[in-house]
Structure 1
């Protein structure tokens, strides 16, 4: 159940106050005194620093500075473990705070290109998280909250964050261990190494994201029906199995049946439709999302998904057919 509006406003206000206070006093804190205090706690020092790192991530304190401090305090091995744990826990906490306070608001108020961007990010899921963690130009603190506004699964977010922040954590922890003064050249080398890793991630990921962004937002079944009734040049592609196509739910009159598992090797059957509006549907909308990704990556410029698929179509009591799939697939790509 969604939290009451007043509670979200109250918690959001308290969070902003805490962030503002942390940023205001950030330059007034003596790092040497803090390090001496942590070292004075003995065996509790790693746990104390992990807690401070987690809180710092939530309050927008710079993660690179904290990571350097962890290396200086605990060395390259323990420092990396503590830093990576603190960064991951802090990132997860910020993610959950954003999801609790504002994800519903974001879902209701995003539209147009921003909505398409959000859908593209959500469709990529852990891949987008991995990409942004590997690319050093994305601000760590802001990204934690921004991703919480999406529907990316928590477990995927946590695992991708942990794994893909590890290279940077190892590098900056070691830099903190050897000392900034003794490693001014090493910092530049580390940045160049991470940038190279980021470019590899960019080359692998960017085509997928571009393909996602080329997709259009979902269409409702009523709109599909109206466009077909009006004679719109809309190609309806049903990506269910032939058995489902002719089964109890039936199919939309005039729909083309191309099962999603067969779609990669049957794309030539749609070669004449790359510039036509294409509506994809399945039983709900899961398989149609996979098909939309494939079509967008193969040059189809106007791809849509039908929200709720044939389930929603039947619930709306719209016309259906249950003829053989071979008859319905005549004229594919025309």
Structure 2
């Protein structure tokens, strides 16, 4: 085997596709802006369709749109001819992909959009193709050779189409000021979802939260600490606000006459807290000793000064945060 030849081929393919993306960059015009505006105005969904390799790209574009705040789904053109055309409705926008612009399986999809006045955006590499002539907005791919030597394997064309789909999605995402927190709502699974988890998703709430009143005798406070199993208890004032916490360190510092004391005599006032809407990564940073603060194992979750829950470092680690 000639490994040098393999390396040369790989570099040639990547270079050719990179050159094609440069062409695409230069070719973008007002039709791109019209396509973005058309999808932003849609009251329904963006219906993405394509056949063969274009179909695989269409699925990915639909997934990217859906996860960045634009409701979208993929419709297979062959299945569309057997009932799935009903998945499109007025208020939707169709995004149809075909390198040649003449894919026969797309005929029913195109005809349906014309019959029911569903706006259609076409992406193809032939200016005079049926798809682009019928489209309300025509996105023409620039002339670029496929990365294979024969020119018959969809490579460069699919790369450009995928990049164009990403550009459409990100343009709408930025217009909507879509945040990482919004992305997490659509993408709760996996490592990225874990990184974007919010405190409210991981915290313990309700009766699981160790809480006592400020005038609770310390024997009862010790029972609450043992019963809830967090090694800490929150102390609330008369108004229900979190006034302090009692930790193992507080117990050791007040060993002399501990059982004769009240909770407010032993607690550490003004403890570190976290809001339920904060990212779990922020909570981990606090528990690890952000800045010059000492590390802690738990944070009480507080909103308007009132304790809503408690978050342990192990909860974050189990969720893949940390």
Q: TM-score, normalised by structure 2?
A: 0.26
Question: 1 or 2, which has the higher strand percentage?
Answer: 2
Q: TM-score, normalised by structure 1?
A: 0.26
**Larger relative contact order (Cα-Cα within 8 Å, sequence gap ≥ 6):** 1
Give the number of the structure whose alpha-carbon radius of gyration is greater: 2
